[in-house]
Chain A
Amino acid sequence: MNLLRSGRLYGFVLVVLALISLPYWATRYWVLVILLFSINLALSQMWNLLAGYSGLISLGQQAFIGLGGYALAVFSLYYGLPIWLSIIIGGTISVLFALLISAPIFRMRSVYFAIGTWTVAETLRILFSNWKYVGYGMGLFVKPAYALSFNTIYYSALGVGIASVALVYFLLRSKLGLGLMAIRDEETASETLGVDIFRCKLNCFLISAGVTGAVSGVLYLHNIFIQPYSAFGIDWTVRLVFITIIGGIGTIEGPIIGSFVYVFLQQWLSDYPSVSLLILGIIAIGVILIAPKGIMGTIQEKLGFEFLSPRRK
Chain B
Amino acid sequence: MLSFLAELKGPIVNGLLLGGLYGIIGIGMSMIFGIVRLVNLAHGDLVILASYLSLVTMVYFHTSPLITLILIIPAMCVIGFFLQYYLLNRVLAKGMNPPLLVAFGLSIILQNILLLVFTPDARALVTSISVKTIPVGGFLNLPVVYLVDFIGSITTIVLLSRFFSRTYLGKAIRAASDDEGAAQLMGINTKTIYAIAMALASGTAAVAGVLVGMTFTFYPHTGPEYLIIAFGVVIVGGLGSLLGTFFGGLILGLAQLLGAHFLGPGFQLLSGYIILLIVLTFKPTGLFAKG
Interface residues of A (CB under 8 A from B): 51, 57, 59, 104, 107-112, 114-116, 118-120, 122-123, 126-127, 129-130, 234, 238, 241-242, 245, 274-275, 277-278, 280-282, 284-285, 288-289, 292
Identify the stretch in B53-61, B121-129, B209-217, B266-274 within 8 Å (CB) of chain A at 4 or more residues.
B266-274
Taken residue by residue from 97 to 140, chain B's Cβ proximity to chain A (1 for < 8 Å, 0 otherwise) reads as 11011101110110011011000000000000000000000000
Contacts of B269 in A (CB 8 A): 122, 126
Of A51, A110, A112, A130, the residue contacting B280 (CB under 8 A) is A112
Bound together, the chains give a CA A278 to CA B115 distance in angstroms of 10
Report if B284 contacts A (CB, 8 A): yes
Closest B residue to A109 using CB positions = B284
Which interface class (under 10, 10 to 19, 20 to 34, 35 or more) fits B? 35 or more
Of A119, A127, A130, A277, the residue contacting B108 (CB under 8 A) is A277
A112-B280, A122-B228 are known contacts. Are A288 and B109 too (CB-CB below 8 A)? no
Instruction: Check A278–B112 contact: CB distance below 8 A.
Output: yes
Bound together, the chains give a CA A13 to CA B141 distance in angstroms of 71
Identify the stretch in B13-21, B88-96, B156-164, B176-184 within 8 Å (CB) of chain A at 4 or more residues.
B88-96
Task: Find residues 248-283 in chain B having any chain A CB closer than 8 Å to their own CB.
Answer: 264, 266-267, 269-270, 273-274, 276-277, 280-282
Bound together, the chains give a CA A123 to CA B100 distance in angstroms of 22
Bound together, the chains give a CA A285 to CA B41 distance in angstroms of 14
Min distance, Cβ A171 to any Cβ of chain B, angstroms: 22
- List 20 A-B residue pairs with CB atoms under 8 Å apart, sorted by A's residue number: A107-B281, A108-B284, A109-B284, A111-B100, A115-B39, A115-B276, A116-B280, A119-B228, A122-B228, A126-B266, A126-B269, A129-B266, A242-B105, A245-B101, A275-B112, A281-B112, A285-B105, A285-B106, A292-B94, A292-B98
Min distance, Cβ B63 to any Cβ of chain A, angstroms: 30
Of A119, A126, A288, the residue contacting B98 (CB under 8 A) is A288
Closest A residue to B39 using CB positions = A111
Instruction: Check A108–B116 contact: CB distance below 8 A.
Output: no
Instruction: Check B270–A57 contact: CB distance below 8 A.
Output: no
Contacts of B97 in A (CB 8 A): 51, 57, 110
Of B113, B273, B282, the residue contacting A123 (CB under 8 A) is B273
Bound together, the chains give a CA A275 to CA B240 distance in angstroms of 38
Contacts of B98 in A (CB 8 A): 288, 292
A104-B277, A108-B281 are known contacts. Are A278 and B91 too (CB-CB below 8 A)? no
Report if B34 contacts A (CB, 8 A): no
Min distance, Cβ B22 to any Cβ of chain A, angstroms: 15
Main secondary structure of the interface of A (DSSP, over half): helix
Interface residues of B (CB under 8 A from A): 39, 87, 90-91, 94, 96-98, 100-102, 104-106, 108-109, 112-113, 115-116, 224, 228, 231, 235, 264, 266-267, 269-270, 273-274, 276-277, 280-282, 284
Instruction: Check A241–B281 contact: CB distance below 8 A.
Output: no
Contacts of A238 in B (CB 8 A): 104, 108
Instruction: Check A118–B228 contact: CB distance below 8 A.
Output: yes
Instruction: Check A288–B91 contact: CB distance below 8 A.
Output: yes
Contacts of B277 in A (CB 8 A): 104, 116, 119-120, 123
Contacts of A119 in B (CB 8 A): 228, 273, 276-277, 280
Contacts of A289 in B (CB 8 A): 87, 90-91, 102
Contacts of A282 in B (CB 8 A): 105, 109
The 9 closest A-B pairs by CB, nearest first: A104-B281, A281-B109, A274-B112, A278-B112, A281-B108, A285-B105, A274-B115, A130-B266, A111-B39
Instruction: Check B113–A122 contact: CB distance below 8 A.
Output: no
Bound together, the chains give a CA A288 to CA B224 distance in angstroms of 22
Bound together, the chains give a CA A161 to CA B282 distance in angstroms of 38
Bound together, the chains give a CA A51 to CA B115 distance in angstroms of 29
Contacts of B101 in A (CB 8 A): 57, 241, 245, 284, 288
Closest B residue to A105 using CB positions = B281
Min distance, Cβ B235 to any Cβ of chain A, angstroms: 8
Contacts of A274 in B (CB 8 A): 112, 115-116
9 more A-B contacts (CB under 8 A) besides A110-B100, A111-B96? A57-B100, A104-B280, A104-B281, A107-B281, A118-B228, A119-B228, A127-B270, A277-B108, A285-B102
